Amino acid sequence: MRILQELGWDTWDTSVVWPEFQTGEGRADFALCHPPAKPAIFVEVKQPGKALDAVRQALEYAFHAGVPFVVLTDGQTWSFYLPAEQGSYEDRRVYKLDLYERPVDEAAQILHRYLGRDRVESGEALEFARKEYQSRSRKKRAQDALPEVWSDLLVKADEQLVEVLSNAVETKIGFRPDAEDVAEFLKSRGAPVVSVPDVPEMDDDSGLDGLQEPVRPGELVLLGKRHRYTNAKEAMVIVLTELAKLDPSFLQRCSGHPGFQGRKRHYIGRSPQELYPGRPDLQQHKESLPGDWFVATNLSNALKMAVIRAACDVAGLVYGKDLKVDF
């Protein structure tokens, strides 16, 4: 409330800063209204560290209420979303601000850019957010930030470094780089980020070339049901199979999702040739899925995890809540 006051909002006027605004799906924590009683922005406030658990709920509230802009905060982090745009939840996040990581002046400028009352009422805040979403420079900026962030993480080399590096880039510039860009960057630096020895890699984004995946047993929890797996490949197949059983259209929708597509091939397809075009030597590296679909298994563990996360997005699930898996 103090931050909203500093940004020009009259927090004593509940027709302008409306707490517990009722929507058809539930109650938004706050609605910032312009004109009075007409929400322009929903603000969801969660406990520290719990903000990501509420992304789906917050965007659904806004989408069904016709509110074009959503802010999700746990006090430390402030994420700004365009709920009606296309893509995953992460795609629709225009910017993420971490108050612990940014200089005070920069944080204040970003908050005013998206939440300043004068900018909201003039339409500038929403217009800027939409331009950011549409900007083709976002990917380039994320790629340019990788070397600097990498230098900070070298001393913390980790098996899950793809995820760590992606998160760090997002903290620094406000949005995530593509998982494939991160994997390629790490490979170019010779980072020990996969759990298999280095092997000659194909010119796409995989590179196991038939190497036997090591046994690393674990357990995943999908919608409250526990499944045991022996390695990352089996975990990926279990997730895709179980979600396909729940929704016959699931794999078809996955096939068109960018998270299931590399630069030169698809990770899910109707034939081995579709998975490995021009590489008959690799077409044996696949697993069958329901409905005569196949999934490529010649993927690094980082890409298997990216496929699992993309599956959650297609199914409308929240990774880490509806699905928990770690390999």
What's the pLDDT tens digit per position in 92-101? 899 999 998 8
Q: Which residue has the higher pLDDT, 90 or 136?
A: 90
Total Cβ atoms within 10 A of residue 79? 26
Per-residue pLDDT at 280 exceeds 90 = no
If pLDDT is split at 50, 70 and 90, which confidence band does 140 have? low
* Alpha-carbon gap, residue 215 to 229, rounded angstroms: 9
Please report how the helices 301-315 and 232-246 are oriented relative to each other, as an axis angle in degrees rounded to 10.
10
Per-residue pLDDT at 194 exceeds 90 = no
What's the pLDDT tens digit per position in 218-251? 899 999 999 999 999 999 999 999 999 999 999 9
Give me the DSSP letters along 32-100. EESSTTSEEEEEEE--TT-GGGGHHHHHHHHHHHT---EEEE-SSEEEEE-TTSSS-HHHHEEEEEETT
| Residues facing 269 on adjacent strands | 294
Per-residue pLDDT at 113 exceeds 60 = yes
pLDDT of residue 202: 35
Per-residue pLDDT at 133 exceeds 50 = yes
Instruction: Determine the CATH number of domain 2-134.
Output: 3.90.1570.30
Residue type, 240: L
Cα–chain-centroid distance for residue 260?
14
Per-residue pLDDT at 49 exceeds 90 = no
Please state which CATH class domain 218-324 belongs to.
Answer: mainly alpha
Per-residue pLDDT at 289 exceeds 70 = yes
Least confident of 51-55, 56-60, 102-106, 171-175: 171-175
Per-residue pLDDT at 304 exceeds 60 = yes
If pLDDT is split at 50, 70 and 90, which confidence band does 258 have? confident
* Alpha-carbon gap, residue 66 to 4, rounded angstroms: 22
- CA-to-CA dists, residue 57 to 24, 28, 77, 81, 149, angstroms: 12, 9, 17, 12, 32
CA 64-69-70 angle, to 5 degrees, is: 85
Report which of 286, 311, 295 is spatially closest to residue 222, judged by C-alpha positions. Answer: 311
pLDDT of residue 33: 97
Q: Which residue has the higher pLDDT, 87 or 261?
A: 261
Per-residue pLDDT at 205 exceeds 50 = no
Give me the DSSP letters along 3-16. HHHHTT--TT-TTT
Give me the residue spans of the domains in the chain.
2-134, 137-188, 218-324
Per-residue pLDDT at 13 exceeds 60 = yes
On the question of a common fold for 2-134 and 218-324, the answer reads no
Q: Which residue has the higher pLDDT, 176 or 324?
A: 324
